[in-house]
Structure 1
């Protein structure tokens, strides 16, 4: 196990799973500049460390992330050029997160507002507690949704519902988030992180090439036509079929050995 503990971000790697914990509970884990810098550095490390097979995003103190630090934003008093530079810096690490070739799981408790909601949407799977709530709050302060939300939210809920969520800037409770497909599973607070960890650990036994190819193909699925996707499918399958992981998985099946990858079953209550 390796662990780095900073003032605003906990970065821990255990059993080939990286856990990034937003750690500013007094501000409900607001995404202030220092936290963004630490997040950028952690994502760069994860991108380069091929031993890490899955990533968990979560928050300390009963909240996920309450969004941007408005006090800091107001104090910066940025002009148009300053805002463009701010967004370009943000997008540099966001693209790493959105295109990461390993599974990302968001474990959301409490507030996921503004940029915090956007960060949850950047994950491949969102798990939440019944007390979690989501709010695309940007319009309340005269801003446009960012941290990739204009890309991710309509792909999850559809364009019309994304417009309603963004233009109303209303709260979405955990049950509604589950119905809309924003959240995949609900778990009690003491079971949220264990479930995320079980899911993440399951990918340690999966073919990293197949996982990366599936993610890359699905990320482009809504922008491609039938022929584009069939071509991508053929190329991806030819690459996956040539891996040692594929050969090992087939051999284990034929010799009746347990598979190395198995999705963790939900515990029955």
Structure 2
């Protein structure tokens, strides 16, 4: 058996973009203990590695992730259940707050914890056949992997209650309408498009991107005074960066910009 077959998380890097692939296609990439441990190690390493400029999450085969591995759920006490979830929170919170772009390329099934992990990304690009669901109520559980935080912020409180309480499935087009998906593309173009967006964001100012992401993540829990103070401090830092100086120089010289967003038909 090869190393790739033994690993539940495949890791590839190209031009500063690290792709994490959930690698249990025979189980629709359900998260088991090994995958959670490998995700923990990968996310914490990425946090410390400034050479990683963007992250792409995807699934092996035709699915993103079907959620937690129900066959491995044999929790017998509230404390054991809490410990199981607490173990997730360190790397999940790091992923949500990572000061670099995170893109989820969602194909096929995106259920439960898989949906939560997609919500942890800055942008979700979905194939037309992608399906999203928070099925926790069906097994008497509540959303995890940060979904209590991310889902209402992404789709609004009323729609979050709808998705959680009904445990209904929504297709990619409806998920886009709700705001959970940025773009819907054909399955054959999904990973190409995710790579285009990752490459574009990787070329942005790392200082400006990191500060802006952290400020936006704090904005719904802060008031105007706090956010204006963050804005002033952040812009003061951004004005001093080499990226800003070079971008202004290129603008004046009518040269190609450092940062461009990739057109949908790129």
188, 207, 210: which one aligns with 1:209: 207
1:102 and 1:212 in contact (8 A); partners too: yes
> What runs of 5+ residues in structure 1 fail to find an aligned partner?
none
Q: TM-score, normalised by structure 1?
A: 0.95
Give structure 1 regions of 4+ aligned residues with deviation exceeding 4 angstroms: 3-6
User: Is 1:97 matched up with 2:95?
Assistant: yes
Query: Secondary structure at 2:110's aligned position in 1?
Result: strand
Distance 1:201 1:15 in 2: 8
2:14 maps to what in 1? 14
243, 257, 260: which one aligns with 1:259: 257
Deviation at 1:157, TM superposition (A): 1.1
1:126 maps to what in 2? 124
Q: TM-score, normalised by structure 2?
A: 0.96
> What runs of 5+ residues in structure 2 fail to find an aligned partner?
none
2:76 maps to what in 1? 78
Does the C-alpha gap of structure 1 residues 133 and 247 become closer, same or farther in structure 2, counting only changes over 3 Å?
same
1:57 and 1:106 in contact (8 A); partners too: yes
User: Is 1:38 matched up with 2:29?
Assistant: no
Matched residue pairs, number? 264
Deviations 1:215-259 (A, max 9, x none): 001001111111111111111101111111111111111122211
Deviations 1:18-62 (A, max 9, x none): 100001001000011100111111111111110111100000110
Distance 1:94 1:179 in 2: 26
Query: Secondary structure at 2:73's aligned position in 1?
Result: helix
TM-align CA RMSD: 1.4
Distance 1:7 1:88 in 2: 23
140, 160, 165: which one aligns with 2:158: 160
Distance 1:263 1:161 in 2: 29
225, 228, 240: which one aligns with 2:226: 228
Does the C-alpha gap of structure 1 residues 223 and 165 become closer, same or farther in structure 2, counting only changes over 3 Å?
same
Query: Secondary structure at 1:220's aligned position in 2?
Result: helix
1:59 maps to what in 2? 59
1:149 maps to what in 2? 147
- Higher mean alpha-carbon deviation, 99-108 vs 248-257, is at 248-257
Distance 1:246 1:149 in 2: 35
Deviation at 1:192, TM superposition (A): 0.5
